[in-house]
Amino acid sequence: MLLSVIMPCYNEAKTIGSIIEQVQAVRLQKEIIVVDDFSQDQTSDLLHEIAAKDTSIQVFRHASNRGKGEAIRTGLAAARGEIVIIQDSDLEYDPNDYYELIRPIVSGRVDVVFGARFLGRHTGMYFWNAVGNKFLTLLTNFLYNCWISDMETCYKVMRTDIMRSLQLESNDFRIEPEITAKVLRLGYRIYQVPISYMGRTYEEGKKIQKIDGLKAIVTLLRWRNWRGIAPHLKPIDPIVAATALQAAQEYSLQQGYMPFRSHLHN
């Protein structure tokens, strides 16, 4: 299995079917792991209907609302893929970006890739959310001596063994700075790839709040001196890698553009 897509969701009945269809359409060897964090709408019923038609989809449901971080840990425990990607269950992020996100990892260049919204096409982001994101990213660069442009991005893609080695603890949106901080503390270089982003409004169900920005600051400071052990990674199977690279190349040609090549960031 090449790719494990972990999809936390909470009250996303309006979008869950569409986002799963988009992920299914991506021509990469993958499994989809959806974790329903005790939704109170029709999300759970829809998920069981979808999973009954596609055996590549695993569905888990928490017995209580535990947060995005706990949902990610639930999905990670079940993941079988060489690479893991977190996919929000709304429609803000485009799964077609998977091709370019996994390309640097499959080709053996790096082990961690972040999708950078501010380097790609984006709309719908609130001004103060963007300012907060920029501040948190600047703080991350300062504290961890790195240079990335989007610390809070959902698309954090890496070898599955690396994410497991992070010993994640956060339950809510603090999971984003925790993943970033610990990846950097392990010494991995983060390769950035431009992605598209279509932000939704709070009326449409956007969940992150101002208080989450303050929590992120505390999280970045908390893990500043964390020490972990980087896993020993085996090369991805050459046949699986070649198939994925071919799919990525075909998608690029269909879209009429050449693959983006960014600089590696220390």
Residue 259 in any domain: the answer is: no
Residue 236: inside a domain: yes
Residue 244 near residue 30 (C-beta atoms within 8 A): no
Determine the pLDDT at residue 204.
63
| 239, part of any domain | yes
Is residue 179 one of the residues assigned to a domain? Answer: yes
Across 76-93, average pLDDT: 97
Q: 248, 182 in Cβ contact below 8 A?
A: no
Number of neighbours of residue 195 by Cβ within 10 angstroms: 26
Q: Which domain holds residue 190?
A: 3-254
Which pLDDT band holds residue 21 (cuts at 50, 70, 90)?
very high
Give the CATH number for residue 31: 3.90.550.10
Q: Is the Cβ–Cβ distance between 135 and 141 less than 8 Å? A: no
Above 90 in pLDDT, residue 217? yes
Structural domain includes residue 43: yes
The CB-side HSE value for 121 (13 A sphere, CA atoms) comes to 4
The domain tally of the chain equals 1
The residue whose two tokens read 């300012």 is 131
Per mean pLDDT, which range of 4-18, 28-42, 118-132 is the poorest?
Answer: 118-132
Which residues of the chain form beta strands (DSSP E)?
Answer: 3-9, 30-36, 57-61, 83-86, 112-116, 122-123, 156-159, 190-194, 197-198, 264-265
